[in-house]
Amino acid sequence: MHPAIHIIIPMAGHSRRFQAQGLKGPKALLPVGKMTMIEHVVSMFGQHDHFHFVINEEQQKETPDIVQRLKVIAARADVSVIPSHENGPTFSALQVQGIPDDAPVTIAYCDFTVRWDYRAFLGHVSQADAGAPSFRGFHPASLGDTYYAYMRVDGDRMVELREKRSFTPNRMEEHASTGIYYFASSQMFRHYAERLLAEHDYAKGEAYTSLLLNMIVADGKEVIVHDVDHFICLGTPGDYRQYLYWYDYLHRPQQRHLAPPPGFRQINLVPMAGRGSRFRDYGYRVAKPLIPVRGEPMMLRATASLPPATDWIFLPRAVDLERHPIADTVRAVYPQAKFIPVAETTSGQAATCLLAENMLDPDAAVCIASCDYEHAYDPESWQAILNDPSIDGAIWTCRMDMSMVRNPVAFAYCVTGVDQRTVTKVVEKRLISDNPSLDPMVVGTFWYRCARDFIWGAKTMIEKGITVNGEHYVGTSINQLIEAGKRFVIFDVIQWVSFGDPHEMQILGYWDNYFHKLKD
How long, in residues, is the chain? 520
For residues 387 and 37, give the distance between their C-alpha atoms in angstroms, rounded to a whole number.
Answer: 43
Looking at the predicted structure, is the pLDDT value of residue 299 above 70?
yes
Whether 262-397+444-514 and 6-246 are alike in CATH topology: the answer is yes
Helix or strand or coil: residue 402? helix
**For residues 14 and 92, what is the distance between their CA atoms, to the nearest angstrom?**
12
Of 89 and 401, the structure prediction assigns the larger pLDDT to 89
Q: What is the pLDDT of residue 203?
A: 62
CA 313 from centroid of its chain's CA atoms: 32
Q: What is the pLDDT of residue 265?
A: 96
If one looks up domain 6-246 in CATH, what number appears? 3.90.550.10
297, burial (CB in 10 Å: exposed 0-12, middle 13-18, buried 19+): buried
What pLDDT score does 207 carry?
84
Cβ burial of 325 (10 Å; 0-12, 13-18, 19+) is: middle
CB 22: neighbour CB atoms within 10 A? 7
What distance in Å separates the CA atoms of residue 386 and residue 429, rounded to the nearest whole number? 29
pLDDT band at residue 194 under the 50/70/90 scheme: very high
Count other C-beta atoms under 10 Å from residue 224's C-beta.
21
- pLDDT tens by residue, 71-119: 999 999 999 999 999 899 999 999 999 999 999 999 999 999 999 999 9
Task: State residue 222's pLDDT score.
Answer: 98
- pLDDT > 90: percent of the chain: 91
What pLDDT is attached to residue 328? 98
- The neighbour count for residue 371, using CB atoms within 10 Å, is 27
What is the DSSP track for 246-291?
A: HHHHHHPPPPP--PPPTT--EEEEEEE----HHHHHHT--S-GGGS
How much is the mean pLDDT over the chain? 95
What pLDDT is recorded for position 85? Answer: 92
What CA–CA distance (Å, rounded) separates 513 from 22? 31
For 231, the 3-state DSSP assignment is strand
467-494 tens-digit pLDDT: 999 999 999 999 999 999 999 999 999 9
Q: Is 160 exposed, middle or buried (0-12, 13-18, 19+ CB in 10 A)?
A: middle
Question: At residue 1, does pLDDT exceed 60?
Answer: no
pLDDT at 262: 87
* pLDDT number for residue 2: 66
* Contact (CB, 8 A) for 292 and 280: no
**What does the alpha-carbon distance between residue 90 and residue 87 come to, in Å, rounded to a whole number?**
8
pLDDT, position 200: 79
Q: Tell me which CATH code domain 262-397+444-514 carries.
A: 3.90.550.10
What does the pLDDT look like over 313-337, one tens digit per residue?
Answer: 999 999 999 999 999 999 999 999 9
pLDDT, position 404: 82
User: Higher-confidence residue: 145 or 440?
Assistant: 440
- Res 145: pLDDT: 84
Backbone phi and psi for residue 474, each to the nearest 5 degrees, phi listed first: -60, -45
Domain boundaries, the chain: 6-246, 262-397+444-514
pTM of the model: 0.93
- Binning pLDDT at 50, 70 and 90, where does residue 517 land? confident
Read off the pLDDT of each residue in 420-434 and give the average, rounded to a whole number.
97
Report how far residue 163's alpha carbon sits from residue 176's, in angstroms, rounded to the nearest whole number. 9
Cα–Cα nearest to 212, from 135, 99, 148, 132: 132
Q: Return the sign of the alpha-carbon dihedral for residues 174, 177, 182, 187.
A: positive
At 332-391, the pLDDT tens digits run: 999 999 999 999 999 999 999 999 999 999 999 999 999 999 999 999 999 999 999 999
Average pLDDT over residues 491-519: 94
Per-residue confidence (pLDDT) for residue 83, from 0 to 100: 96
Angle at 114 between CA 112 and CA 120, to 5 degrees: 135
% the chain with pLDDT above 70: 99
Under the banding of pLDDT at 50, 70 and 90, the label for residue 17 is very high
**DSSP 8-state code for residue 317:** B
| Sequence-separated contacts (24+) of 33-41 with Cβ below 8 Å | 33/243, 33/244, 33/247, 33/251, 37/110, 37/111, 37/113, 37/234, 38/9, 38/11, 38/70, 38/73, 38/110, 39/73, 40/113, 40/232, 40/234, 41/9, 41/108, 41/109, 41/110, 41/111, 41/112, 41/113
